[in-house]
A and B are shown apart, each in its own frame.
Chain A
Amino acid sequence: MELWRYTVHELHARLCRGEITATALTEAVLSRLHAVEDRIHAYLTVTAELAQEQAAAADAAFARGEVRSPLQGIPLAIKDNICTRGVRTTCASRMLEHFVPPYDATVVERLRAAGAVLVGKTNLDEFAMGSSTENSAFVATRNPWDLERVPGGSSGGSAAAVAADACIAALGSDTGGSIRLPAAMTGVVGLKPTYGRVSRYGLVAFASSLDQIGPLTKDVHDAALLLQAIAGHDPRDATSAPVPVPDYTQALGRGVQGLTLGVPREYFVAGMDPEVEAAVRAAVAQLEQLGAKCLDVSLPHTPYAVATYYILANAEASSNLARYDGVRYGLRVEAPDVVEMYRRTRAAGFGAEVKRRIMLGTYVLSAGYYEAYYRKAQQLRTLFRRDFQEAFRRCDVLATPVSPVPAFRLGERLADPLQMYLADIFTIPVNLAGLPAISLPCGFTAQGLPIGLQLIAPPFGEETLLQVAAAYEAATPFHRRQPALA
């Protein structure tokens, strides 16, 4: 019985009916995981024992007639930059290779309370810095659709695990596209919530004003279920919004009739992959056919997104990563004095990309450069918000590609960091403006690589995203296609 093939909502129905047990489901997922893991390398830590315990607890609850949530007994994977009490949380960095947090992230606490089963911690670009998951200090995750290609990043482990059925659903984090890009490149659904919608407590910070946790799932319905479980105000995160959480599944059947879809012209640029452009345009046509009104809109500052983002994100990162100093936890390289200990520890603990970003971030904040870089980028950020505000006056949701290109080959972009950064050009503006966005499959290239459609909504418009995405998904077959990984 290939239980691992199913979605959260399908499995929940079967668990509730008593057709399957959480224990059997967990066993199935673990064995699938083991069967594919040596090819895709999605996980950094597999928590089989914990998963079995949690599955047994879930079964006991079902037996008592207790159903706490649609996630009860469902095997999930968590990106390894989200803290799990008692389970090592490495951020794919040598720096935290043996770090075991004595606390849970709020989202993990909520998943545990919901009765979910944790199967493991997934690979990522070190400290979530990257677009390919090649920057992991431990292993490069492979794309289940083509093992010679990257799964996208930085939540590449979570995306690959979902795509390869090595978990039922997963959590990732998105600072500049780190959920949406890998979702697009692996043909799964990835949702980046509004900034403040989901607590960041326990998410190891990359860029605090941009980071947000969100789900990677096999379909839109599952994205709604996971978001439901993790969204909401958290007193431990001062930037979490005290905005009520609606019932997201209610949005799923509403259709797109009466909605206006904006198509920003700056998101169809020279040099973008023609197959990607064609697939996204076809998706827009499909939505129009389903009853949405389509509109050409402009987001004029889009060309400046990458520069703005890499100033702000790296400035914050340079400060956020200062705590890795070999004093209270993590790697230490001994030295005769403390300053030298810092320098050696940080040299050995961080990989090249992390160092590059710390250097960049330190530079743009340093005396004499703050105004020209950091402050200027903050002003650009205001302009990005205005661009979107302007666009949302005329439409309810924006439709764009997720990435100008499908999954690229391993190593292909490593030599040129700037080229790698440009893969995020369509996802970054969403983070700069703090908006919610979803990535969902909208086709395949001739070579069989998935292509993603990005939908963007105004702040706290996750319902609209789910509504449009569900309508599109119901009318198209792309989410049902599976990679050929036997």
Chain B
Amino acid sequence: MEYESVIGLEVHAQLLTRSKLFCGCSTAFEADPNDNTCPVCLGMPGVLPVLNRQAVELAIRTGLAVQGTIATTCRFARKNYFYPDLPKGYQISQYEEPIIQGGWLDIEVNGQRKRVRLIRIHLEEDAGKSIHGEHLADPTKSYIDLNRCGIPLLEIVSAPDLRSPEEAKAYLQQLKTLLEYLEVCDGNMEEGSLRCDANVSVRPKGAQRLGTRTEIKNLNSFRFLQRALEYEIERQIEVLRQGGTVVQETRLFDAQRGITLPMRTKEEAHDYRYFPEPDLVPLRVDEAWIARVQASLPELPAARRQRFVTQYGLPAYDAEVLTASRALADYFEATVQRFPQPKVVSNWVMGELLRALHRFQHTPPQAPLTPEYLAELLQLLDSGVISGKIAKAVFDEVYETGRRPREVVEAKGLVQISDAAALEAVIRRVLAENAAQVEAYRGGKKQIFGYLVGQTMKATQGKANPQLVNQLLRRLLEEDGP
């Protein structure tokens, strides 16, 4: 029997606010353990939460970008459970009344477009972090850091519309790009700003009913997501093939072994005892507020991708790669503004720049070679001051040192030799040194020409203007011929 997988993702995105959801503590990532805490996020007796307006604003922004319905009135609820990184013994979240309902995200896999529906998006506070003792000191203890506790999160729940690990990955990629565009989340999966859980089940192809699902927790990279899903789908299919049944449970992905494992604790039937948070008043979002946020929305990835094709005449592939990150698209446009040859810029951004960003683990704004410098470099190339080969060397030099391209070219004497007289002298010397090859060429072995061009370039350390070399070499070979 053939099986198909059914996947839904629950993504937690850390909102880009300066302060926490319910208190004035900083959300900065680097800090001593428990240094970004206060009585409110420590859950001390008698203190009260007050909602961060900006977090609500970011939630609305996200809701509008996915065509969701913004609730006119919604409430916060307490989700009650005990865990040492949850100071109050409850998490302030949203339950029956999320701020956003519905909406969708379009993805593309292997040229197939697909609409993934969203069920809901809600606001909640993050928990702290527990570190097992052996990683720090005493293995019989756990160590609690509450810096992250109270940081605003958006929980984004998709419908079970995804049918393969590739689709799941594409969805997560698309969501990440969107949240970055919206400046809602920095999308940093390593630092945990974007976290993903997956609900996955399998069923015979064509069946209507959903199979029993498992939930896989903490899939914190695209690779893990894909590998965990691939493994889990195989596992479930295997269970069914053996005539068994899938157990509804929560599983963890063991990245080292590439397998999923049930969580060790006996899952005590969760009973979160949700009830309306009495310390907060309802949230009312009126038309005017929505309109204000709508007006402030930036251009979204799909629109920008389309514009890159029509406005710059870029191939769809280029537009896709460049707009996958807002920062990269911004970099591209900033460069094109100074050097209006979009396809040339695109080639360099997709080639040299992406390579360098990857090598140095930089984001586009961190690149020492700024759009201004790239434009300058391309100008030098375009006007023939340097050759393409030199340009690549200059690119690396500028990227590593942060010096201006023009400066690097001048300091290193990399200016292209376009002086016909000087070049002619070099070529004559090359021809003299390669008398045998010249003989052969003249004897009809025309392919020797390329070799002679190479020798000339070598003699000039690549600085010779290639067109001029071609022209001069051809003339000298013809002229001086017998």
Contacts and interface: CB of A to CB of B under 8 A. Distances in A.
Interface of A: 81-83, 89, 91, 96, 99, 101-103, 105, 200-205, 207-209, 235-239, 315-316, 318-319, 321-323, 325, 327-329, 336, 338-339, 342, 362, 365-367, 370, 374
A319 B90 contact: yes
Contacts of A237: 48, 50
Nearest to A207: B278
Q: B42, B49, B82, B280: which has the most chain A beta carbons within 10 Å?
A: B82
A206 to B, nearest CB: 10
Q: Interface on chain B toward A: helix, strand, loop, or mixed SS?
A: loop
Contact of A374 (B51, B78, B275): B275
B87 interface: yes
B39 interface: yes
A338 B275 CA distance: 26
Contacts of B44: 101-103, 323, 328-329
Nearest to A322: B89
A322 B88 contact: yes
A239 B90 contact: no
B271 interface: yes
Given A208-B278, A328-B43, A319 B50 contact: no
B46 A83 contact: yes
B43 A239 contact: no
Contacts of A89: 45-46
Contacts of B50: 235-238
A208 B92 CA distance: 14
A99 B45 CA distance: 10
Contacts of A316: 275, 278
B135 interface: no
Interface in B135-164: 140, 142, 144, 146
A326 to B, nearest CB: 9
Given A319-B275, A365-B275, A203 B89 contact: no
Interface string B48-84: 1111000000000000000000000000001010101
A103 B281 contact: no
Interface residues of B, number: 32
Contact of A239 (B87, B89, B269, B281): B281
B45 A322 contact: no
Contacts, number: 108
B358 interface: no
Contact of A204 (B46, B146, B273): B46
Contacts of B144: 327
Interface of B: 39, 42-51, 78, 80, 82, 84, 87-90, 140, 142, 144, 146, 269, 271, 273-275, 278-281
Contact of B87 (A102, A327, A365): A327
Given A89-B46, A203-B46, A325-B84, 14 more contacts: A81-B46, A91-B45, A201-B46, A205-B279, A235-B50, A239-B279, A318-B80, A319-B78, A322-B82, A327-B87, A328-B87, A338-B84, A362-B273, A367-B269
Contact of B271 (A318, A342, A366): A366
Nearest to B45: A204
Contacts of A96: 45
A323 B88 contact: yes
A370 B144 CA distance: 33
